[in-house]
Structure 1
Amino acid sequence: MEHLVTTGDLIAELAARAPKLGGNDAGWPGLTIYRFVEPTQPQWEEIQSLSLGIVAQGRKAVIIDGKTYMYDPFNYLILSSHLHFQAQILEATARKPFLSFVLQIDPAVVKKVSADMLEHRSVVAFPPERVARIHQDKGMVSALDPEMMSAVLRFLQSLGTGADRRVLTPMYLQEIVYRVLQREQYARMLQIAAKQSGQNPVSAALTYMRKHYAEQITVNDMAEQVCLSPSSFSHLFREITDRSPYQFLKELRLDQARQLLLDGRLSVTDVSRAVGYSSTSHFIKEFRTRFGTTPRAYVDAETLGVQLDALRDGAS
């Protein structure tokens, strides 16, 4: 008799593949399994490419552009590339740890599966107004139905042996994409995959920005890299990233600055210069706008949090 997949099967599989706290490398490119045994404070995270996230146990909040998405067991998110967001574990205990995974998906796989589906007319059609809402609703949460859960479980189980990983895992990955494309988030996944394609000039601009963010680059400089006029480039960039080129560059600089500050080897002034700010006061103002506090207060708060965690660990 065929085994009926249950929620417990997925929980057990993730628990077995996540022996340590935090992120666990699960043996497949772009796949990370997370385990937490207590709630956490909000943390800034970044998604570099089209990704699927699924929670199996516990509860998590994802905050994107000021909007909070509750991420409960057996729901999934389709996350866009180059996405900055805050995440917070809300429910987790040693007995019932928070368990989830994030899987990066190659846009080429989405293109292949969607092409096969269109050829056989398998894509579900939704009303235009619903498609528009899906396009706009970044990080939308959907239910993990039994068919998709079964595909996800088979994908994870196939990672166990070399032969299965070579032959079966790519097939099950395609099935996961196929299941998403059959459901309400199909338009969102197709849109993100198209935007992330290497043929998109914005991809080249993003690479250039990440290499030269500490320099005094302008929109004209970015546009020249992809052979577009500044106005055309700015319009396309905003359409794909939901940000202006300057806004994205600013967020990139401030995120890099946050890491340098936590490293503790540079002063606030040196950090501001290292990430491309000529004015320290301007840097402090923009840092406060993005993170809600001054650079020095941010570092002090993080340091205090680490010290308190160490005291709690020592007391236990």
Structure 2
Amino acid sequence: MLTNSPVQACHSVQTDSASPAIAALSDAVRKFAKTEGVTPSPLGSVWALKLSECLPYHRGRNKGLSVAVAVSGLKRVCLGDKQIVNDPGHVIAFHGDASYSAVVEGTPAKPYLALKLQLSPELIAQTLVRLAETDAHASSPAKGALISCEPLDDELAGSLLRLVTSFRDPADCNVLAPLCLQEICYRILRSNAFGVLRSLVSAGDERLVKALRYIEAHAARPDLTIAEIAAEVAMSPSHFAHGFTALFGQSPLQYRKQVRLDRARQHLLTSNASVARAAEAAGYASTSHFTRDFKSSFGMAPRQYAETLAPPRQNDT
């Protein structure tokens, strides 16, 4: 869990001492990450990262709730005066819109290899509401905790393994992967480090879930405003915007952008749509603007993404 110490090191777990569940996850991630750099998955919110050489000091930015599980090599992440060292046998969970610096240690013989996930705000909200309804308690977290590094237990490793395995079959990915993400989100949010998020949602308070759904229903509208969304859920604009950002790690309008891009991604993968048509379906007036946003979010241009990840189409007989 996150401590008040400026350095929090996750000590390495030797491969031969790892549990069968963690060893199986490591093997599955190695098979999934076939190429150097980013290996995307059909979900878009899950990918693998493989680096076979050291990556010196660099800066990055986190948004929302992201999860990283290293199976080889290590990564040192600095957030303010805190440093987290992530290596095999541990899981990093990072919440909020915040800049960080990092150093990656990897070699051809022992590359940095990690599974990365970005959990959706709606999934976070639904999970938090259900946790509040069951009155699930954990010990008090450090106030304002944004990042945690904890041992990877067999339950979470099993969920991650089932998720990665589902990518091998389109039907499994479509039906089982969302269930795996629900379980992963639950196990992450139930940890002590994220009690600060659980405290933001009271039992029966589903206003933010309702706001998420309203944003999704009206995401393509260029005139959608925070004031309109806040009125829909009976909150003041300032209270709504603050609560939304604190809980989900991104602003309401940032989430709207994410919804639009996810919608376009689905069009590209399932309907063989052109880039221009996908942009139009997502509410973009400019194809070039859409392409820039898409590449920034998913790591490659829309057409390249579709050609890489779209399932093969069977010939009519």
TM-score w.r.t. the length of structure 1 is 0.56
Alignment partner of 1:182 is 2:182: no
2:293 is matched with none
Given that 1:78 and 1:189 are in contact with CA atoms closer than 8 Å, whether structure 2 keeps it comes out as no
Superposition deviation, residue 20 in structure 1: 1.9
Give the counterpart letter for 1:114 in structure 2. Answer: L
For 1:189 and 1:156, the matched residues in 2 are separated by: 27
The alpha-carbon distance between structure 1 residues 141 and 188, as it changes in their structure 2 partners (threshold 3 A), is: farther
For 2:173 and 2:112, the matched residues in 1 are separated by: 26
Given that 1:110 and 1:190 are in contact with CA atoms closer than 8 Å, whether structure 2 keeps it comes out as no
Q: Which has the higher helix share?
A: 1
Given that 1:13 and 1:157 are in contact with CA atoms closer than 8 Å, whether structure 2 keeps it comes out as yes
Give the counterpart letter for 1:41 in structure 2. Answer: P
Secondary structure at the counterpart of residue 167 of structure 1: helix
For 1:21 and 1:75, the matched residues in 2 are separated by: 22
| Correspondence list, 1:222-233, <5 A | none
| Correspondence list, 1:141-180, <5 A | 141-180=149-188
For 2:129 and 2:210, the matched residues in 1 are separated by: 18
Alignment partner of 1:30 is 2:45: yes
Alignment partner of 1:100 is 2:108: no
| Correspondence list, 1:195-214, <5 A | 199=211
Q: What value does the CA root-mean-square deviation take over the aligned residues?
A: 4.0
2:32 is matched with 17
The alpha-carbon distance between structure 1 residues 183 and 48, as it changes in their structure 2 partners (threshold 3 A), is: closer
For 1:190 and 1:124, the matched residues in 2 are separated by: 9
2:64 is matched with 49
Superposition deviation, residue 236 in structure 1: 4.4
1:274 is matched with none
Q: What do residues 35-87 of structure 1 show as CA deviations (whole Å, max 9, x unaligned)? A: 01122101111223221122122111011124221112122222123221112
5+ residue gaps in structure 1?
204-221, 242-316
Superposition deviation, residue 197 in structure 1: 7.1
1:124 is matched with 137
For 1:97 and 1:192, the matched residues in 2 are separated by: 39
Superposition deviation, residue 110 in structure 1: 2.2
1:59 is matched with 74
Give the counterpart letter for 1:151 in structure 2. Answer: S
1:85 is matched with 100
1:272 is matched with none
For 2:121 and 2:40, the matched residues in 1 are separated by: 21
Given that 2:72 and 2:114 are in contact with CA atoms closer than 8 Å, whether structure 1 keeps it comes out as yes
Secondary structure at the counterpart of residue 23 of structure 1: strand
Greater gyration radius: 1
2:124 is matched with 110
For 2:61 and 2:47, the matched residues in 1 are separated by: 14
1:280 is matched with none
The alpha-carbon distance between structure 1 residues 139 and 171, as it changes in their structure 2 partners (threshold 3 A), is: same
Secondary structure at the counterpart of residue 180 of structure 2: helix
5+ residue gaps in structure 2?
1-18, 216-225, 248-317
The alpha-carbon distance between structure 1 residues 159 and 191, as it changes in their structure 2 partners (threshold 3 A), is: farther
Q: What do residues 261-313 of structure 1 show as CA deviations (whole Å, max 9, x unaligned)? A: xxxxxxxxxxxxxxxxxxxxxxxxxxxxxxxxxxxxxxxxxxxxxxxxxxxxx
Number of residue pairs matched? 216
Given that 1:52 and 1:78 are in contact with CA atoms closer than 8 Å, whether structure 2 keeps it comes out as yes
For 1:77 and 1:175, the matched residues in 2 are separated by: 16
Give the counterpart letter for 2:115 in structure 1. Answer: F
For 1:18 and 1:11, the matched residues in 2 are separated by: 11
